[in-house]
Chain A
Amino acid sequence: MTAPTATTELKPPALSQGWLGWIRENLFAGPFNTLLTILTVWLLLATVPAFIDWALLKAVWSAPTASVCREAAGGACWAFVYEKHRLILFGLYPFEEHWRPMLVVVIFLAMIGLSCLRRFWTVWLALYWIVALTAVGILMWGGVLGLTYVENEKWGGLPLTLILSVFGIAFAFPLSILLALGRRSNMPAIKALCVIYIELIRGVPLISLLFMASVMLPLFLPTGVNFDKLLRAQIAIILFAAAYLAEVVRGGLQALPKGQYEAADALGLAYWQKTGLIILPQALKLVIPPLVNTFIGIFKDTSLVVIIGLFDLLNSLKASLVDPAWPGFSAEGYIAVSLIYFALCYFMSKYSQALEARLATGHKR
Chain B
Amino acid sequence: MATGTGDLGPPQRSVASRLNWNDPSFRAILYQIIVLGLVALTVWYLVSNLQANLKSRNIATGFGFLGLEAGFGISESLIEYSPASTYGRAVFVGILNTLRVAVIGIILATILGTIIGVLRLSKNWLISKVCSAYVETLRNLPLLLQLFFWYAIITETLPSARQALNPLPGIFLSQRGINFPVPAFGIAFDLILIGVALGLIGAVAFRIWAQKRQDRTGQQSPVLLVAAGLIFGMPLLGWLLGGAPTEMSVPELRGFNFRGGASLSPEFAALLIGLIAYTAAFIAEIVRSGILAVTHGQTEAALALGLTRGQTLRLVVLPQALRVIVPPMTSQYLNITKNSSLAVAIGYPDVVSIANTAINQTGQAIEGIALIMAVYLSISLGISLFMNWYNKHIALVER
Instruction: Decide: B140 and A346 in contact? CB cutoff 8 A.
Output: yes
Shortest CB-to-CB span from B127 to chain A, Å, is 5
State whether the Cβ of B142 lies closer than 8 Å to any Cβ in chain A: yes
A208 to B149 CA separation, bound complex (whole angstroms) = 23
Instruction: Decide: A307 and B344 in contact? CB cutoff 8 A.
Output: yes
Instruction: Decide: A219 and B380 in contact? CB cutoff 8 A.
Output: no
Within 8 A of B (CB), among A28-46: 29, 33, 36-37, 40-41, 43-44
Q: Mark A184-218, 1 if CB is under 8 A from B, else 0.
A: 00111110010000001001111110011001101
A203 to B380 CA separation, bound complex (whole angstroms) = 6
A216 to B339 CA separation, bound complex (whole angstroms) = 21
Residues A193 and B39 in contact in the complex (CB < 8 Å), given A37-B124, A306-B144: yes
Instruction: Decide: B35 and A330 in contact? CB cutoff 8 A.
Output: no
Which residues of A have CB within 8 Å of B144? 303-304, 306, 314
Which residues of B have CB within 8 Å of A120? none
State whether the Cβ of B332 lies closer than 8 Å to any Cβ in chain A: no
Instruction: Decide: B35 and A303 in contact? CB cutoff 8 A.
Output: no
Instruction: Decide: A208 and B145 in contact? CB cutoff 8 A.
Output: no
Instruction: Decide: B36 and A189 in contact? CB cutoff 8 A.
Output: yes
Shortest CB-to-CB span from A263 to chain B, Å, is 18
Which residues of B have CB within 8 Å of A330? 148-149, 152-153, 156
Instruction: Decide: B143 and A205 in contact? CB cutoff 8 A.
Output: no
Which residues of A have CB within 8 Å of B143? 300
Instruction: Decide: A220 and B352 in contact? CB cutoff 8 A.
Output: no
State whether the Cβ of A5 lies closer than 8 Å to any Cβ in chain B: no
Which residues of B have CB within 8 Å of A303? 142, 144-145
Which residues of B have CB within 8 Å of A342? 137, 140-141
State whether the Cβ of B75 lies closer than 8 Å to any Cβ in chain A: no
Instruction: Decide: B157 and A331 in contact? CB cutoff 8 A.
Output: yes
* Contact pick for B342, options A25, A219, A304, CB 8 Å: A304
Which residues of A have CB within 8 Å of B36? 189, 193
- Size of the A side of the interface (Cβ < 8 Å), in residues, is 54
Which residues of A have CB within 8 Å of B124? 26-27, 29, 33, 36-37, 40
A190 to B35 CA separation, bound complex (whole angstroms) = 7
Residues A223 and B53 in contact in the complex (CB < 8 Å), given A186-B28, A208-B369, A304-B342: yes
Among A88-96, A130-138, A333-341, the one that faces the other chain is A333-341
* Contact pick for A36, options B122, B153, B352, B359, CB 8 Å: B122
State whether the Cβ of B190 lies closer than 8 Å to any Cβ in chain A: no
Instruction: Decide: B372 and A204 in contact? CB cutoff 8 A.
Output: yes
Which residues of A have CB within 8 Å of B263? none
A306 to B28 CA separation, bound complex (whole angstroms) = 44
- How many pairs, one residue from A and one from B, have CB atoms within 8 Å of each other in the complex? 156
Which residues of B have CB within 8 Å of A27? 124-126
Instruction: Decide: A318 and B376 in contact? CB cutoff 8 A.
Output: no
A203 to B337 CA separation, bound complex (whole angstroms) = 10
Q: Mark B32-45, 1 if CB is under 8 A from A, else 0.
A: 10011001000000
Which residues of B have CB within 8 Å of A203? 334, 373, 376-377, 380-381
State whether the Cβ of A328 lies closer than 8 Å to any Cβ in chain B: yes
State whether the Cβ of B341 lies closer than 8 Å to any Cβ in chain A: yes
Which residues of A have CB within 8 Å of B46? 220
Instruction: Decide: A328 and B142 in contact? CB cutoff 8 A.
Output: no
Shortest CB-to-CB span from B4 to chain A, Å, is 34
Instruction: Decide: A223 and B52 in contact? CB cutoff 8 A.
Output: yes
Which residues of A have CB within 8 Å of B123? 25-26, 29, 33
Residues A189 and B145 in contact in the complex (CB < 8 Å), given A205-B338, A219-B366, A221-B49: no
* Contact pick for B126, options A40, A186, A341, CB 8 Å: A40
Closest to B341 in A: A205
Q: Which of A40, A205, A314 counts the most chain B CB atoms within 10 A? A: A205
Residues A44 and B32 in contact in the complex (CB < 8 Å), given A205-B376, A300-B141, A342-B140: no
Which residues of B have CB within 8 Å of A216? 365-366, 369
Closest to B126 in A: A40
Instruction: Decide: B338 and A26 in contact? CB cutoff 8 A.
Output: no
Instruction: Decide: B338 and A190 in contact? CB cutoff 8 A.
Output: no
State whether the Cβ of A324 lies closer than 8 Å to any Cβ in chain B: no
Q: Mark A234-269, 1 if CB is under 8 A from B, else 0.
A: 000000000000000000000000000000000000
Instruction: Decide: A190 and B141 in contact? CB cutoff 8 A.
Output: no
A84 to B53 CA separation, bound complex (whole angstroms) = 43
State whether the Cβ of A73 lies closer than 8 Å to any Cβ in chain B: no
State whether the Cβ of A222 lies closer than 8 Å to any Cβ in chain B: yes
Which residues of A have CB within 8 Å of B149? 330-331, 334, 338
A346 to B136 CA separation, bound complex (whole angstroms) = 8
Instruction: Decide: A314 and B376 in contact? CB cutoff 8 A.
Output: no
Within 8 A of B (CB), among A309-337: 314, 318, 328, 330-331, 334, 337
Closest to B371 in A: A208
Which residues of A have CB within 8 Å of B369? 208, 211-212, 215-216
Instruction: Decide: A219 and B125 in contact? CB cutoff 8 A.
Output: no
State whether the Cβ of B228 lies closer than 8 Å to any Cβ in chain A: no
* Contact pick for B377, options A204, A318, A338, CB 8 Å: A204
Shortest CB-to-CB span from B112 to chain A, Å, is 15
Closest to A30 in B: B123
Residues A190 and B377 in contact in the complex (CB < 8 Å), given A208-B369, A338-B145: no
State whether the Cβ of A296 lies closer than 8 Å to any Cβ in chain B: yes
A27 to B139 CA separation, bound complex (whole angstroms) = 27
A275 to B285 CA separation, bound complex (whole angstroms) = 34
Which residues of B have CB within 8 Å of A43? 130
State whether the Cβ of A345 lies closer than 8 Å to any Cβ in chain B: yes
Which residues of A have CB within 8 Å of B342? 207, 304, 307
Q: Which of A186, A306, A318 counts the most chain B CB atoms within 10 A? A: A306
Residues A200 and B377 in contact in the complex (CB < 8 Å), given A27-B126, A189-B36, A208-B352: yes
Residues A337 and B145 in contact in the complex (CB < 8 Å), given A36-B127, A307-B344: yes
Instruction: Decide: B359 and A189 in contact? CB cutoff 8 A.
Output: no
Given A205-B352, A221-B49, A331-B152, output 7 extra A-B contacts at Cβ < 8 Å: A36-B122, A200-B373, A211-B365, A215-B365, A219-B49, A219-B54, A330-B156
Return the 4 tightest CB-CB contacts between A and B, nearest first.
A330-B152, A345-B140, A26-B125, A205-B338
- Between A and B, 7 residue pairs with Cβ closer than 8 Å are A27-B125, A203-B381, A204-B373, A205-B339, A211-B356, A215-B365, A330-B152
